[in-house]
Amino acid sequence: MNVMTRAESSVASDVVKISARDVQVHYGTTQAIKDVDVDILDKTVTAFIGPSGCGKSTFLRCLNRMNDTIDICRVSGRIMLDGEDIYDRRIDPVQLRARVGMVFQKPNPFPKSIFDNVAYGPRIHGMTQSRAELDEVVESSLRRAALWDEVKDRLASPGTGLSGGQQQRLCIARAVATGPEVLLMDEPCSALDPIATAQVEELIDELRTNFSVVIVTHSMQQAARVSQRTAFFHLGELVEYGETGTIFTKPRDPRTESYITGRIG
């Protein structure tokens, strides 16, 4: 169903980073995701939109196998990252998650210092050889998350002491520090105030230069502002996927249209 018109200038890359085919997700006996096929491009922000409970977050969690941590959840179909099936038996979810980072709805800094929060990923993956190298990774990650200037004088103070927006940017820095190729964001701004939201949105746009970013959002405006491609989910199905501009101005599916017009007016 997703025959797309080729993008003009707004899509920075047309290299497919993740391609999903026939993805089904069951929680116990209820089906949460039905037959989803989607290609996510590299160096692009892709937004998943749709009403609550439509399965967009569930699908997002399939992309780094976070659903594995829920006992009753079963995933079938194929999800390829750079042509490798991430549900293949040979793939270690631990390594996968280092390549596909995730930022959650509510900021969840560890009860550790700001430095240790960011250094956590590099340390467990053994990415750095020396303290100096680690310092460098932490600084560059915090700079990328646009947080460096605010916290550089108090790296040893606890991450939980920051404001909500700062905490979320800390979590982004933490995810960036492991050097992921894809960054998944599950409603990253829903717990933030408008100013913090604006900061994070600006950040997402910058992150696009290095990563493929997938963002789940409730807010249509946000999807329109930050994404180049948008996927509309409804009742566990992917209804429509394409250029963000196209989806918002000329949706082909009546469901998409009613959702968008109902919200945007």
Partner 1 sequence: MTGIAFLLLFLAALAGYLVNRQAARAIRAGGAPLHSLGLYHGGYAALMMLVPGLIFLLAWLALQGPVVDALVMAGLPEGTVSEAGGAGSAGALVLAEVRSIASGRIFGTPEAWKIEAAARMTALHGGARQLMLIGLAAILAGGFAFARSRVSAAFRARQGVERIILGLMIFCSLVAIFTTLGIVLSLVFESWRFFAMVPVHEFLFGLNWEPQIPIRADQIAGAGAFGWLPVILGTFVITVIALTVAVPVGLYAAIYLNEFASPRFRAVAKPVLEVLAGIPTVVYGFFAILTVAPALRSGASALGIAMSPNTALAAGGVMAIMLIPFISSFADDALSAVPRSLRDGSLALGSTRAETMMKVLFPAAIPGIVGGVLLAVSRAIGETMIVVMAAGLIARLTINPLDSVTTVTVQIVTLLIGDTSFDNPKTLAAFALGLMLFLVTLGINIVALGIVRKYREIYD
Partner 2 sequence: MSEISAIGGPAAAPRRPGITNIARRRRSERVLQGLGLGAILLAFAMLATLVGSLIITGYPAFTQTHLRIDFPVTEARVKSDKPEAGNYRALMQDAMVAALPDADPAAARKLAAMLSNSAQFALRDRVVADPALIGQVVTMTVPVADPYDQLAKGLVRRDTPEAERRLTDAEIAAFDRLAAEGRVSRPLNTALLSNADSRFPEIAGLKGALIGSFYALMTCFVISFPLAIGAAIYLEEFAPKNRLSDIIEININNLAAVPSVVFGLLALAVFLGWFGMPRSAPFVGGLTLALMTLPTIIIATRASLKAVPPSIREAAMGLGASRQQVVFGHVLPLAMPGILTGTIIGLAQALGETAPLLLIGMNAFITAAPATPFDSATALPTQIFIWADSPERGFVSRTSAAILVLLCFLMAMNALAIFLRSKFERKW
Contacts to partner 2 by CB under 8 A: 2-4, 6, 14-17, 19, 37-39, 41-42, 82-84, 92, 94-95, 98-99, 124-127, 179, 181, 241
Structure-block tokens of residue 232: 């509309």
C-beta of 20 vs 196, nearer to partner 2 = 20
Identified binder of partner 1 from the candidate list 9, 29, 69, 129, rule CB under 8 A: 69
Structure-block tokens of residue 76: 């079938």
Compute the least distance from the CB of residue 97 to partner 1, in Å. Answer: 4
CA angle 156, 141, 207 (to 5 degrees): 145
Q: How far apart are CA 265 and CA 252, in angstroms?
A: 17
Asked if 71 touches partner 1 (CB under 8 A), the answer is: yes
Q: How far apart are CA 34 and CA 38, in angstroms?
A: 12
Contacts of 30 (CB under 8 A, 6+ apart): none
Q: What are phi and psi of 166, to 5 degrees?
A: -65, -40
Compute the least distance from the CB of residue 112 to partner 1, in Å. Answer: 7
Structure-block tokens of residue 91: 């793939």
| Residue 104 partner contact from partner 1, partner 2, none using kind-dependent CB cut-offs of 5 to 8 Å | partner 1
Contact positions with partner 1 (CB under 8 A) in 81-100 = 94-99
C-beta of 99 vs 112, nearer to partner 2 = 99
| Residue 108 partner contact from partner 1, partner 2, none using kind-dependent CB cut-offs of 5 to 8 Å | partner 1
| Residue 66 partner contact from partner 2, partner 1, none using kind-dependent CB cut-offs of 5 to 8 Å | partner 1
| Bridge partners, residue 81, by sequence | 18, 84
DSSP letter, residue 264:
H
C-beta of 15 vs 70, nearer to partner 2 = 15
With contacts defined by CB under 8 A, how many residues of the chain interact with partner 1? 27
Contacts of 24 (CB under 8 A, 6+ apart): 31, 33, 34, 35, 36, 75, 76, 77
- Return the range that interacts with partner 1 (CB under 8 A); candidates 24-32, 33-41, 104-112, 214-222: 104-112
The candidate with the shortest Cα–Cα distance to 212, out of 231, 184, 186, 187, is 184
Binding site for partner 1 (CB under 8 A): 64, 66, 69, 71, 94-99, 101-102, 104, 106, 108-112, 120-121, 124-125, 171, 174-175, 178
